Structure 1
Amino acid sequence: MPHKPPTEEEHEARKLVGINYETITNVHATDIPGHYPGEDHSWDINKFRDGFKVQIHQNDPYEASFSLIGCDPSIANAFRRIMIANIPTLAIDQVFIYNNKSVIQDEVLASRLGLIPFTGGREGLQDFMKWRAKDDEPKDYNTVGLELCVKCENNPDASPNETDPRKLYKHAHVYAKDIVVTLAGRQVEFFSGENAIRPVNPDILIAKLRPGQEIDIKMHMIKGVGSNHAKFSPVATASYRLMPVINITQPILGRDAEKFQKCFPEGVIGLERVTREEAQQVGSGYEGHEGELKAVVVDPRRDTVSRECLRHEEFKDKVKLSRRRDHFIYLVESTGQIESEQIFLESVQHLKAKAKKFEIQLKNMVR
């Protein structure tokens, strides 16, 4: 008997992970050679190119959301791991404490300073600044110097009845904006004016001081990657999730529709009126319900797949929840030194370079 190729509906069903009340089904990928007799699932670059898509949902400097459709989970996860651990940034790495009379211990203060994200001119940060080895001497092309010299004193102009320490004292609070960058050599060419190195958020609180307390610190900022320390990671978070699929199999009307809408996050399910054409269509399930509210899927991407609707008996057999295994929705939140969109593009270039390096090693191995 000749093999019957799968229909489009069957082909799409293979890509869905079933979400049931207590179980998850179809979790394993089946698009591999030999799984289905008579079907060729060997990887083909032209087939991949035709099925691969990128959809941009949000593109802001500090936050981006986009979808990769039609790629393997291993590739999707590779991008995520590269964005977290392999994209280089500049961060405070060496802290020289000359005086610290605050209540914060030296090591805790140094850790706080290292975690402050900085930004500056893209050309200077990414092209001019080079890597600095452990034993290398500080140079203008591998190290940026910073200083933090703050002393808390009484404010002679404060009101006698004032209780706010920020008005009672000078420098009662030490912020990231109090850090001074000391440029050297050619750094002046790349980090002046609008391109100046500065904290992403100048109001990050570093310490609280009282009269008689002071901080005198010098710091070195160098280039590093997140795999060495989290302070070098260009992202606050980089994550992805599978695209939710909500299939309403039977009409949900009236008060049930309103209740069904509340089972999902805002914007996922909408309410529409049953049209005359739908009410006259035999077998549609809307016969005799013209003008009533019906539940429709508006934006499944907003869904968190909580399965709340599956808890209610009135929705049994009326809805099927699933997730598409080859549709990955990314959320990339930049710490501010590199724009979120650029972080992903850098991860693509990084993976490409890794692939080329592996290709060379593979060729050398089989010679």
Structure 2
Amino acid sequence: MAGSSLPENVELLRTRVINSGSDYPHQYPGIDNSFNLEEFKKNFKVKFQRLSKHSCEFDLIGVDASIANAFRRIMIAEVPTMAIEKVYVQNNTSIIHDEVLAHRLGLIPIKADPNEFEYLTEESGPTDLNTLVFRLKKKCEFNPDAAKDETDPKKKYINSYVYSGDLVWEPKGNQEERFANDPPRPVHDDIVIAKLRPGQEVEMELHCQKGVGREHAKWSPVATASYRLLPEITILKPITGQDAEDFKKCFVDGVIEVVKENGVKTAKVVNPRKDTVSREVLRHEKFDGKVRLTRVRDHFICK
């Protein structure tokens, strides 16, 4: 080929293939990606790293990217939740159109166990087994106790804001008994739905029903669901002395620590999952050939 040798082109092609992201059996030398159920059972692990009221972080270990992505898509689109589906407007004199107000209401996360409800069908219609009913009624008025020069709307007016906490649950059938210990309600009480001024009011009935994210995002139980491969930092040659301190500064806090080994300061990898993959260390010639930055191909950090 004109202008370049054959080995260079072969190496370029090999690099493109490796970086293409194709994952199928025998794609990489020495690694067999063909699916085997017994091997999957033996190697697959789920480890929760952090679990709070509104978020979690866990590791999927021993799976292919397609499996990790399947978990992500299931969380987004297949896990049922309860959300406001029907909005019956009795009165709305706010500046927000009925359709926009209904859309906002639909996106308010509702704390209710979807396992306690059935899916609404055309044949069944709304019942206490498939529908939660909320009432929203609020009217704005002047605050007679406010100072004449007051400018803060929250002090100058009464009910100047409509919040998600203003939704009032109206039990139907035996719902009051079924949910006596944990009444359905919005997850957050401080979501602003609308702003009102004196003379404006909203009054409506809201029907909350069971659904999944693939039908509409309001039923998705997660705001975001993502994953990344676990970073892998391998020190190939000892990094000591001042170089160890400089090496530590190339990473965010907690990834590298400098320890004493036989009285010599030495760099050690302590927590690669904190690494932001900045690759700052590759900018420094003194670390050439001393470190390898890769990722663990079957270890996914999910958030």
C-alpha distance in 1 between matches for 2:29 and 2:244: 40
1:167-219 per-position Cα deviation (integer Å, ceiling 9, x unaligned):
11110111111111111102112222x41111111011111111111111111
Name the residue aligned to 2:201.
214
Distance 1:161 1:51, change over 3 A: same
How many Å apart are 1:267 and its aligned residue? 1.4
**1:226 deviation in Å?**
0.2
Instruction: Report the Cα distance in structure 2 between the residues aligned to 1:301 and 1:221, rounded to whole angstroms.
Output: 40
Task: Report the RMSD for the aligned CA atoms in angstroms.
Answer: 2.6
92, 116, 131: which one aligns with 1:143: 131
- C-alpha displacement at 1:134, in angstroms? 4.5
Instruction: Name the CA distance, whole Å, in 2 between partners of 1:134 and 1:227.
Output: 19
Q: Deviations over 1:241-290 (max 9, x none)?
A: 111100111233344333332322221122223x22xxxxxxxxxxxxx3
Q: Does 1:173 align with 2:145?
A: no
Shift of 1:26: 8.5
Residue 41 of structure 2 aligns to a residue in which SS? helix
Structure with more of its chain in helix, by fraction: 1
1:84-163 aligned at under 5 Å gives the runs 84-120=76-112, 122=113, 125-127=114-116, 129-134=117-122, 136-163=124-151
* Match of residue 68 from structure 2: 76
Q: Give the Cα separation in 1 of the matches to 2:126 and 2:200.
A: 30
Matched residues in 1 for 2:115 and 2:149: separation?
A: 51
Match of residue 202, structure 1, among 189, 194, 219: 189
Aligned to 1:308: 280
Runs of 5+ consecutive residues of structure 2 not aligned to the other structure: 1-14
What are the residue-to-residue correspondences of 1:185-334 with 2, within 5 Å? Answer: 185-192=173-180, 194-273=181-260, 275-276=261-262, 290-291=263-264, 293-331=265-303
Pairwise CA distance, 1:96? 1.6
Letter of the 1:329 counterpart: I
Assess, with a 3 A threshold, how the Cα gap between structure 1 residues 154 and 226 changes in structure 2: closer, same or farther.
same
Whole-Å separation in 2 of the counterparts to 1:106 and 1:208: 14
Flag the structure with more relative contact order, 1 or 2, with Cα contacts below 8 A and sequence separation at least 6.
1
Q: Which amino acid aligns with 2:174?
A: R
Which one-letter code corresponds to 1:222 in the other structure? Q
- Cα distance 1:35–1:148, how it changes in 2: closer, same or farther (>3 A)? closer
- What is the CA-CA distance between 1:146 and the residue it aligns to? 1.2
Pick from 51, 58, 67: which aligns with 2:43?
A: 51
User: TM-score under structure 1 normalisation?
Assistant: 0.72
Tell me the amino acid that sits aligned with residue 47 of structure 1. E
Instruction: Assess, with a 3 A threshold, how the Cα gap between structure 1 residues 24 and 307 changes in structure 2: closer, same or farther.
Output: farther
Query: Secondary structure at 2:151's aligned position in 1?
Result: coil
Task: Evaluate the alpha carbon distance shift between residue 240 and residue 41 of structure 1 in structure 2; reply closer, same or farther with a 3 A threshold.
Answer: closer
By how many angstroms is 1:41 displaced? Answer: 7.1
SS at match of 2:224: strand
Identity %: 50
Distance 1:222 1:40, change over 3 A: closer
CA distance in 1, matches of 2:29, 2:223: 42
Structure 2 vs 1, CA of residues 208 and 24 (structure 1 numbering), >3 Å: closer, same or farther? farther
Choose 230-239 or 61-70, whichever is displaced more. Answer: 61-70
Does the residue aligned with 1:56 lie in a helix, a strand or coil? Answer: strand
Shift of 1:36: 6.5
1:58 shift after superposition: 1.2
Aligned to 2:12: none
Give unpaired runs (5+ residues) of structure 1: 1-19, 277-289, 332-367
CA distance in 2, matches of 1:252, 1:218: 68
- Deviation at residue 136 of structure 1 after TM alignment: 4.3
TM-score (norm 2): 0.86
Q: Secondary structure at the match of 1:238?
A: coil
Measure the CA separation in 1 of the matches of 2:21 and 2:248: 27
**Distance of aligned partners of 1:185 and 1:40 in 2 relative to their CA distance in 1, 3 Å threshold:** closer
Q: Quick check: 2:24–2:33 contact (8 Å CA) kept in 1?
A: no
